[in-house]
């Protein structure tokens, strides 16, 4: 009798697990939607990807060097990389909302300016400019991080930094 109950419990458990696993993957035979034949997920609204990687503690010297601003032909990148070089310890403690931690392996906003990535990404540029401006106003890295997480970087105007000389 105990064997019957044990077999029935095992069968029900397997059925339950199978049903749960079926919910995690697309139905068998579903047609791919994407141009490359991959299944496309329908994600209504903006997906919350969480807070990107950052360091919650201060960086101790030596600080990683940012790329030399003089290597860039355009004023925007020369200016933003020059600002980034001045606040490396602050950038080390900031997340980057282009989510380069997931596609570039970055650990903080500073990594964007240690590489060429910051020259190609307006999100990184806006966050760096905001970090510089707030540092000049006496904000701490933690206060700056809270404002970046809040999305204040979206309102940063990069136009003044496209001039041939650094505006600050």
When pLDDT is averaged across residues 133-142 and rounded to a whole number, the result is 97
**In sequence order, what DSSP letters do the residues of 33-82 get, joined into one string?**
-STTSPPPP---S-----PPP--SSPPPSSPPPPPPGGG-SSHHHHHHHH
Distance CA 97, CA 115 (A): 16
From 43-52, 68-77, 145-154, 155-164, the region with the lowest mean pLDDT? 43-52
Residue 86 has a pLDDT of: 97
> What pTM does this model have?
0.69
Residue 98 has a pLDDT of: 84
Work out the mean pLDDT of the chain and round it to a whole number.
78
Residue 165 has a pLDDT of: 64
Sequence-distant (6+) residues with CB within 8 A of 110 are 59, 64, 66, 84, 88, 91, 92, 94
Residue 11 has a pLDDT of: 56
């Amino acid at each position: 009798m105990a064997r019957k109950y044990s077999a029935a419990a095992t069968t029900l458990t397997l059925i339950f697990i199978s049903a749960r696993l079926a919910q995690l993957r697309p139905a068998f035979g579903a047609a791919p939607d994407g141009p490359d034949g991959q299944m496309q997920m329908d994600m209504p609204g903006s997906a919350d990807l969480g807070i990107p990687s950052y360091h919650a503690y201060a960086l101790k010297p030596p600080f990683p060097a940012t790329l030399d601003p003089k290597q860039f032909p355009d004023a925007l990148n020369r200016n933003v990389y020059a600002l980034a070089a001045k606040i490396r310890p602050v950038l080390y403690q900031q997340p980057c909302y282009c989510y380069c931690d997931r596609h570039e392996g970055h650990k903080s906003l500073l990594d964007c300016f240690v590489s060429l990535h910051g020259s190609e990404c307006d999100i990184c540029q806006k966050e760096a400019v905001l970090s510089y401006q707030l540092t000049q106003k006496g904000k701490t890295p933690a206060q700056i991080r809270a404002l970046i997480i809040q999305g204040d970087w979206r309102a940063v105007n990069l136009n003044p930094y496209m001039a041939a000389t650094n505006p600050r």
